[in-house]
Amino acid sequence: MRIALIFFIVLVFCSPAIADERLVWIDADPACAMGRVDDVDDCWAIISALRSTNVRVVGISTVFGNTDVEHTTATAHTLLQSIRQHEPDHDLPPISQGASRRFRKQTEIPPAVRSLADALADQRLTILALGPMTNVAILLRHFPDLASRIDGIVAVAGQRPGQLFRVGDASVLHFHDLNVRKDPDAFDLVLQTGIPLHLIPFEVAQQVIVTRTDLRTLEGQGPINAWIASRSVPWLKFWEEVLGAQGFHPFDALAVAYLLHPDQFTCRTIPAKLVRRRGLLVVRDTLEVSSSFESQEIVRYCSEVAMAIRGSPITLLTPESIVSDNSNK
């Protein structure tokens, strides 16, 4: 256990991914503007990453998750077309379509996985995993030697044992760790490879709320911010009217914020494992972390985010504007 912990710490803190400039691959399931119950967080995250001067996004792969992969791919193309039109100075990455079903049911290698494999053969990358981990698991199954080319994975996933994620006035309804639930076997495979895994869970995302006031502010901050604001309105209404919340949590955008400003997060290195649940009425697997686990798999789990982001969530779209706050480490 101690050897695994030391190995993980060396990988994390000596990794090129922690340098000022890093090469990033985004794996996402964007569905913004698809409908009332389709979240907009992936689009927030992609805009943020592309605007940053500290990273270079070398590719975007799509995956099923928030909706089917054909629609996530179309959404990604629509977003980049808008950016190309209104912010032409960006060097936009190629988009490739990924897995349409769970890791163990995907019989062919999707184009996105081959594109990611080619990119890793050329350079070391950090992977920003905003949806199910399916594409990454397929990559590691068919190209296991490329695992050493991945500096780290930042994933929107994870929870403590027994946690339920409730929002607003919805006392009965609660959110699941959807990315894990969509493909738990994929997360399990990635966890067992020993690739440095950084988890941005619901626990930390719920500390940041995007309100109607925030969206009105975005509307006056240029065409792309106005574009994402307008597509966030249906999602916001769902949170307000159905969940009784004041606003929505920008889950995926926080993963980009962590990648660029890790000093804004309180995180710790901790054992993790995929917990399997199989019952007559319940089939639910969860990716859990606990210091009491005897698991050899170690992750970096973030539980708090600084006031610099909590107090002004729209800064997530312009990551260089986030002011360092060393009081929350």
As a whole number, mean pLDDT of residues 110-139 equals 98
b/e burial code for range 157-187 (CB count within 10 A of at least 16 → b): bbbeeeeebebbeeeeeebebbbbbbbbbbb
Q: How far apart are CA 309 and CA 21, in angstroms?
A: 21
**pLDDT tens figures, 173-182:** 667 789 999 9
Q: If DSSP codes are grouped into helix, strand and coil, which group holds residue 123?
A: coil
In one-letter notation, the amino acid at residue 208 is V
pLDDT of residue 280: 61
- Which residue, 239, 207, 192, 189, is CA-closest to 37? 239
CB 34 within 8 A of CB 62: no
CB 313 within 8 A of CB 208: yes
- Which residue, 261, 186, 328, 185, is CA-closest to 20? 261
pLDDT at 256 over 80: yes
CATH fourth-level superfamily of 2-320: Ribonucleoside hydrolase-like (3.90.245.10)
pLDDT of residue 81: 95
pLDDT of residue 18: 42
Q: Predicted confidence band at 34 (pLDDT cuts at 50, 70, 90)? A: low
- Which residue, 210, 201, 205, 213, is CA-closest to 239? 210
Q: How far apart are CA 200 and CA 197, in angstroms?
A: 10
Instruction: Name the E strands within 109-227.
Output: 125-129, 150-155, 197-199
DSSP class of residue 289? E
pLDDT at 14 over 60: no
Token duo for residue 238: 């769902």
Percent of the chain past pLDDT 70, that is, above it, reads: 87
- Mean pLDDT lowest among 9-13, 85-89, 118-122, 275-279: 9-13
- Mean pLDDT lowest among 25-39, 41-55, 100-114, 244-258: 25-39
pLDDT of residue 329: 46
Q: How far apart are CA 115 and CA 174, in angstroms?
A: 36
In one-letter notation, the amino acid at residue 19 is A
Domain boundaries, the chain: 2-320
As a whole number, mean pLDDT of residues 285-289 equals 95
